[in-house]
């Protein structure tokens, strides 16, 4: 059993704890780091967590095997580097960093320390998306031609103040939902080579209405598109087009497989908790049971493309190399 500390007790930090606590035989949380632990007394009691405001104290605790970061994006790199220096495996919510240099610093720190780095792009573990990835990998669709993704969600309207700050969450819905789409597309089609992004804002905070559209060119020559709309009912679609077929993941648990000369086949899968799946994959890697499914190079590929999208959107849609 991996003993972990959760760092950050906002909505998502509590979601991470709730996904495994008392349910997993691979990872459990025993410590929590929060600026104001007293605000979370009921939660801490419910899940049996000892709380502190001192991150360094948790890193110095020999009983802690790993830390899980659910903190503002701008803090990730320094916190990952500190965890690596302390010899603690670290799971970081997405995005890993807001710059290319920051992402490399974080990954290099973990590599130098020989510790596992996990990343919070859990949506690739939705059953429908996982099956779409498998089908694309299998060659059943034929040579890959194009990929598309749209993950839009009105949850942004309920974000805490820091998540709405442009410095923490640039390019509209990119840090909230878009990066999950990007992760799935990179997993299917490989690293991105060039992007062109357009952000249209119809209404600013506190309830942001904006639309992000991205053209993607992958190093493999495959083309793609990505979209993220904030303040609209949740919608998720990932699609891969091959010469002989296409697969379309619709939401968490449903996909449509299309092949030449046959009727579309609709498939449904049992629901799973993707957050738990991801944390347990991280725990297995820390325990030496299996490699973490997302390699450091793939984490960097997604983060680099994310930064290029942010830069392109800020430049009014000018193309940016990744």
- Residues 95-136 have pLDDT tens digits of 999 999 999 999 999 999 999 999 999 999 999 999 999 999
- Cis omega (within 30 of 0) on the bond before 206? yes
Confidence of residue 207 (pLDDT cuts 50, 70, 90): confident
Q: How far is CA 64 from CA 6, 85, 151, 194, in A?
A: 11, 14, 35, 41
Confidence of residue 164 (pLDDT cuts 50, 70, 90): low
The predicted structure's pLDDT at residue 303: 98
The predicted structure's pLDDT at residue 204: 72
Using the 8-state DSSP alphabet, how is residue 232 labeled?
A: S
Pick the CATH number of 123-321 from 3.30.360.10, 3.30.420.40, 3.40.190.290, 3.40.50.720: 3.30.360.10
Quote the tokens at residue 207.
Answer: 């309830």
Residue with tokens 């701008």, as numbered in its chain: 74
Confidence of residue 156 (pLDDT cuts 50, 70, 90): low
Confidence of residue 193 (pLDDT cuts 50, 70, 90): very high
Domain extent listing, the chain: 2-121, 123-321
The predicted structure's pLDDT at residue 279: 98
* Average pLDDT score over residue span 86-99: 98
The predicted structure's pLDDT at residue 209: 87
The predicted structure's pLDDT at residue 163: 64
Q: Would you tell me the crossing angle of helices 127-138 and 178-189 to the nearest 10 degrees?
A: 20
Contact 308, 182 (CB under 8 A): no
Residues 6+ apart with CB under 8 A from 163: 156, 169, 175, 176
Contact 28, 21 (CB under 8 A): yes
The pLDDT tens digits of the residues spanning 252-302 come to 999 999 999 999 999 999 999 999 999 999 999 999 999 999 999 999 999
Contact 184, 149 (CB under 8 A): yes
Confidence of residue 208 (pLDDT cuts 50, 70, 90): confident
The predicted structure's pLDDT at residue 157: 54
- Rounded to two decimals, what is the model's pTM? 0.95
* Average pLDDT score over residue span 159-180: 81
Of 188, 197, 251, the C-alpha closest to 222 is 188
CATH 3.40.50.720 fits 2-121, yes or no: yes
């Amino acid at each position: 059993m991996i003993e972990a500390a959760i760092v950050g007790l906002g909505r998502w930090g509590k979601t991470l704890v709730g996904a495994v606590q008392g349910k997993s035989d691979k990872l459990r949380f025993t410590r929590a780091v929060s600026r104001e632990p007293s605000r979370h007394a009921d939660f801490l009691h419910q899940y049996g967590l000892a709380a502190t405001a001192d991150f360094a104290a948790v890193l110095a605790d020999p009983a802690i095997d790993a830390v899980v970061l659910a903190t503002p994006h701008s803090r990730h790199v320094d916190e990952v580097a500190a965890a690596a220096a302390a010899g603690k495996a670290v799971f970081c919510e997405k995005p890993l960093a807001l710059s290319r240099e920051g992402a490399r610093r974080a990954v290099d720190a973990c590599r130098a320390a020989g510790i596992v780095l996990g990343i919070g792009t859990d949506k690739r573990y939705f059953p429908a998306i996982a099956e779409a990835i498998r089908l694309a990998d299998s060659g059943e669709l034929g040579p890959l031609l194009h990929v598309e993704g749209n993950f839009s969600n009105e949850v942004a309207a309920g974000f805490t103040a820091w998540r709405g700050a442009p410095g923490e969450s640039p390019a509209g819905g990119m840090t909230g939902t878009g990066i999950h789409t990007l992760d799935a597309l990179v997993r299917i089609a490989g690293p991105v080579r060039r992007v062109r992004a357009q952000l249209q804002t119809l209404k600013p905070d506190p309830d942001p209405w904006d639309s992000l559209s991205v053209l993607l060119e992958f190093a493999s020559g495959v083309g793609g598109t990505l979209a993220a709309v904030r303040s609209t009912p949740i919608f998720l679609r990932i699609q891969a087009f091959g010469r002989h077929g296409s697969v379309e993941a619709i939401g968490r648990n449903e996909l449509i497989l299309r092949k030449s000369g046959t009727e579309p086949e609709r498939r449904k899968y049992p629901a799973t908790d993707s957050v738990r799946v991801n944390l347990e994959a991280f725990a297995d890697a820390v325990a030496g049971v299996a490699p973490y499914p997302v390699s450091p190079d793939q984490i960097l590929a997604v983060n680099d493309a994310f930064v290029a999208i942010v830069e392109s959107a800020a430049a009014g849609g000018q193309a940016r190399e990744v």
